């Protein structure tokens, strides 16, 4: 538990530091921000931790990724400013694992149709990259859990639905905690199998199969809660 708590605190600290650069105007709208590697070196944290923070900022509409160009600061509207502050003030009681499972079944299974409709070749390449990282860290369950979470957050990004994206990023700490609990009991192989099958269904544009696989994947996780 201590190592996970440390990881969560570290992720929050990186997120807050990067967010602050935008809010105080140090990173101006339209400006390209440093790369993951550069930020990792500047903050003395892993690229995974930096990537998590950047994904959250993209979901909150503070940053945007441009294929082949990098990550840029977006215009900060009043609505975006409120969204950016919201994760700081949200103070929900710790969710029960079953409640998190129910949330994921509603959001993630339902999102698969949009994923199949809107996925691009670049999105599929990113999902495969994350799956390869999961295989690489199959023995390091803490790191594996972070890559697993990244896979599911990326699926929600692919929907291009800002409500789904923001909901999941606000729930990220609870999702990570639940995922780590499951992976400690289940190990890594089931996750690798289901993620591979889900990618294949998405590539084949098979909405029904993608939904069924996600549902089976989450129900399989429930057996270990």
Q: Please give the domain boundaries of the chain with CATH numbers for all domains.
A: 1-91 (1.10.10.10), 96-225 (1.20.120.530)
| 3-state SS record for 168-219 | HHHCHHHHHHHHHHHHHHHCCHHHHHHHHHHHHHHHCCCHHHHHHHHHHHHH
pLDDT digits (tens, 9 = 90+) for 83-129: 555 444 344 444 467 788 889 999 999 999 999 999 999 999 999 99
What percent of the chain lies above the pLDDT cut of 70? 86
Residue 124's pLDDT is: 97
pLDDT digits (tens, 9 = 90+) for 13-34: 888 889 888 877 788 888 999 9
Residue 225's pLDDT is: 67
Structure tokens at 19: 């967010």
12 pLDDT more than 80: no
Long-range contacts at 124-127 (CB < 8 A, ≥ 24 apart): 124/199, 124/202, 124/203, 126/154, 127/151, 127/154, 127/155, 127/195, 127/199, 127/202
């Amino acid at each position: 538990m201590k190592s996970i708590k440390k990881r969560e605190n570290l992720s929050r600290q990186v997120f807050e530091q990067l967010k602050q650069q935008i809010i105080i105007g140090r990173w101006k709208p339209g400006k390209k921000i440093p790369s993951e590697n550069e930020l990792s070196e500047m903050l003395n944290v892993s690229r995974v931790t930096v990537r998590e923070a950047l994904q959250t900022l993209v979901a909150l509409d503070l940053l945007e990724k441009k294929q082949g160009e990098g990550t840029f600061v977006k215009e900060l509207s009043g609505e975006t400013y409120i969204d950016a502050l919201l994760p700081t003030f949200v103070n929900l009681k710790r969710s029960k694992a079953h409640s998190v499972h129910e949330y994921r079944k509603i959001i993630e299974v339902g999102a698969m149709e949009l994923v199949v409709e809107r996925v691009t070749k670049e999105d599929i390449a990113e999902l495969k990259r994350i799956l390869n990282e999961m295989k690489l860290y199959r023995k390091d369950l803490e790191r594996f859990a972070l890559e697993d979470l990244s896979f599911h957050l990326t699926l929600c990004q692919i929907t291009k639905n800002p409500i789904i994206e923001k909901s999941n990023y606000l729930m990220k700490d609870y999702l990570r905690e639940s995922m780590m609990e499951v992976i400690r009991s289940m190990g890594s192989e089931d996750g690798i199998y289901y993620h591979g099958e889900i990618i294949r269904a998405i590539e084949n544009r098979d909405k029904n199969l993608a939904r069924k696989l996600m549902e089976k994947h989450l129900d399989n996780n429930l057996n270990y809660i």
